[in-house]
């Protein structure tokens, strides 16, 4: 298994670089170009949500991180938001279970971003990281 980790502040100004870095890392791990683009889209959604929704709980500005690992024919992605409170992680895990039933209605305030994640990633899991905060993990085929 080979893996790489990116750490960056919870600030929208880093999104362009984070997307480019994700594309590059996924490519180095053997992902096809379309998979690299899909992973960049997924990370963009995760980081945007962490910035937007995290504004209510973020106190220290601790870095967010993304770990990308090659696991055979799959690439696993882990996203960490070290400041997300446990009750919100529980809510996120429940919302992920709901989107497995299909896309939410267009007038729904929640779920479209999670549905997007579920379109591109398999085995999606949101849980409390060992060091606290959110750990969200999923995987995608390299080809």
Please state the domain extents for the chain: 2-141
The pTM (predicted TM-score) of the whole model is 0.90
pLDDT tens, 72-91? 999 999 999 999 999 999 98
Does the structural domain 2-141 have CATH classification 3.40.220.10?
no
Per-residue pLDDT at 94: 85
pLDDT tens, 22-75? 999 999 999 999 999 999 999 999 999 999 989 899 999 899 999 999 999 999
Question: Do residues 45 and 114 lie in contact, with contact meaning Cβ atoms separated by under 8 Å?
Answer: no
pLDDT tens, 87-116? 999 988 888 887 766 665 555 555 677 878
C-alpha 51/C-alpha 9 separation (Å) is 9
133: left (phi over 0), alpha (psi -120 to 50) or beta: left
C-alpha 126/C-alpha 132 separation (Å) is 12
Question: Do residues 129 and 28 lie in contact, with contact meaning Cβ atoms separated by under 8 Å?
Answer: no
pLDDT tens, 120-141? 999 999 999 999 999 999 999 9
Q: Is residue 3 scored above 90 in pLDDT?
A: no
C-alpha 23/C-alpha 21 separation (Å) is 5
Please compute the mean of the pLDDT values over residues 6-34 and round it to a whole number.
95
The distance from CA 58 to its chain's CA centroid, rounded to whole angstroms, is 17
Strand, helix or coil at 59? coil
Question: Do residues 126 and 110 lie in contact, with contact meaning Cβ atoms separated by under 8 Å?
Answer: no
């Amino acid at each position: 298994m080979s893996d790489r980790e990116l750490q960056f502040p919870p600030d929208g100004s880093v999104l362009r670089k984070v997307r480019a870095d994700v594309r590059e890392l996924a490519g180095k791990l053997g992902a096809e170009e379309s998979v690299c683009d899909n992973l960049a889209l997924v990370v963009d959604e995760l980081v945007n949500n962490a910035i937007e929704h995290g504004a209510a709980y973020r106190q220290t500005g601790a870095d967010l991180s993304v770990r990308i690992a090659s696991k055979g024919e799959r690439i696993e992605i882990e996203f960490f938001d070290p400041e997300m409170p446990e009750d919100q992680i529980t809510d996120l895990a429940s919302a992920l279970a709901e989107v497995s039933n299909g896309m939410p209605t267009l007038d729904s305030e929640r779920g479209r971003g999670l549905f997007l994640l579920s379109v591109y990633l398999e085995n999606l899991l949101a849980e409390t990281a060992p060091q606290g905060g959110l750990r969200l993990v999923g995987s995608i085929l390299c080809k």
